[in-house]
A and B are shown apart, each in its own frame.
Chain A
Amino acid sequence: MRRQVLPGFGLSFGYALTYLGLIVLLPLAALAWKATGIGFHGLIQLLSGPRTLAALRLSLFGALLAASINAVVGLLIGWVLVRYRFPGRRLFDALVDLPFALPTAVAGIALTTLYAPNGWLGRWLEPLGIKVAYTPIGVLVAMVFVGFPFVVRTLQPVLASLERDVEEAAESLGARRHQTFFRVILPMLAPTLLTGFALALARAVGEYGSVIFIAGNIPMHSEIAPLLIVQKLEQFDTAGAAALGVALLLLSFLLLVVIALLQRWSNRWAERAA
Chain B
Amino acid sequence: MTLELSHLNRRFAEYQALDDVSLEIAPGEFLALLGPSGSGKTTLLRILAGLDYPDTGSVLKDGKDFLATTARERNIGMVFQHYALFRHLTVLENIAFGLRVRPWRKRPSRAVIRERVERLLKRVQLDGLGRRYPSQLSGGQRQRVALARALAVEPDILLLDEPFGALDAQVRVALRRWLRELHEELQLTTVFVTHDQEEALELADRVAVMNNGRVEQVGSPEMIYQQPATPFVCEFIGKVNRFTVRRNGAGLAAGGWKPEDDPWQGRHTEAVAYVRPEQLRLAVPASQPAWEARLRHIYLAGSVAHLELQVESLEQPLEADIASEDLSRLGLQAGMELRVAPRGAVLFPRDGQGATINHERWIWHARSPVPA
Contacts and interface: CB of A to CB of B under 8 A. Distances in A.
A245 to B, nearest CB: 39
B82 A165 contact: yes
Contacts of B80: 165, 168-169
Interface stretch (B84-92, B286-294, B307-315): B84-92
A183 interface: yes
B74 interface: yes
Contacts of B84: 163, 165-166, 168-169
A176 B133 CA distance: 24
A191 B85 CA distance: 18
Interface residues of A, number: 21
B88 A269 contact: yes
B51 interface: yes
B133 A269 contact: yes
Given A163-B82, A179-B101, A183-B97, A172 B87 contact: no
B234 interface: no
Interface string A166-204: 101111111110010001100110000000000000000
Contacts of A172: 49-51, 71-72, 74, 76-78
Nearest to B51: A168
Interface residue SS majority, chain A: helix
A94 interface: no
Interface string B81-120: 1101111110000000110011000000000000000000
Interface residues of B, number: 30
A272 interface: yes
A54 B333 CA distance: 98
A96 to B, nearest CB: 27
Contacts of A272: 133, 135-136
A172 B79 CA distance: 10
Contacts of B133: 269, 272-273
A171 B78 CA distance: 10
Nearest to A188: B88
B149 interface: yes
A1 interface: no
A44 interface: no
B153 A166 contact: no
Nearest to A266: B88
Q: Which of A171, A174, A269 has the most CB of B within 10 A?
A: A174
A183 B97 CA distance: 9
B137 to A, nearest CB: 10
A199 to B, nearest CB: 22
Contacts of B86: 166, 169-170, 184
A117 to B, nearest CB: 48
Interface in A140-157: none
B59 to A, nearest CB: 15
Contacts of A91: none
B15 to A, nearest CB: 20
A135 to B, nearest CB: 41
B82 A175 contact: no
A175 to B, nearest CB: 4
A165 to B, nearest CB: 4
B76 to A, nearest CB: 6
A270 interface: yes
A36 B119 CA distance: 66
Interface in A27-79: none
A192 B147 CA distance: 30
Interface string B128-157: 000001111000000000000110010000
Nearest to B81: A165
Interface in A226-274: 269-270, 272-273
A168 B81 CA distance: 12
A270 B87 CA distance: 8
B98 A174 contact: yes
A232 B72 CA distance: 63
Given A175-B72, A269-B135, A170 B88 contact: no
A271 to B, nearest CB: 9
Given A175-B97, A183-B97, 18 more contacts: A165-B80, A165-B84, A166-B85, A168-B78, A169-B86, A169-B149, A170-B86, A172-B50, A172-B74, A173-B97, A173-B101, A173-B149, A174-B73, A174-B98, A176-B101, A269-B88, A270-B135, A272-B136
6 contacts: A169-B149, A174-B72, A174-B73, A183-B101, A272-B133, A273-B135
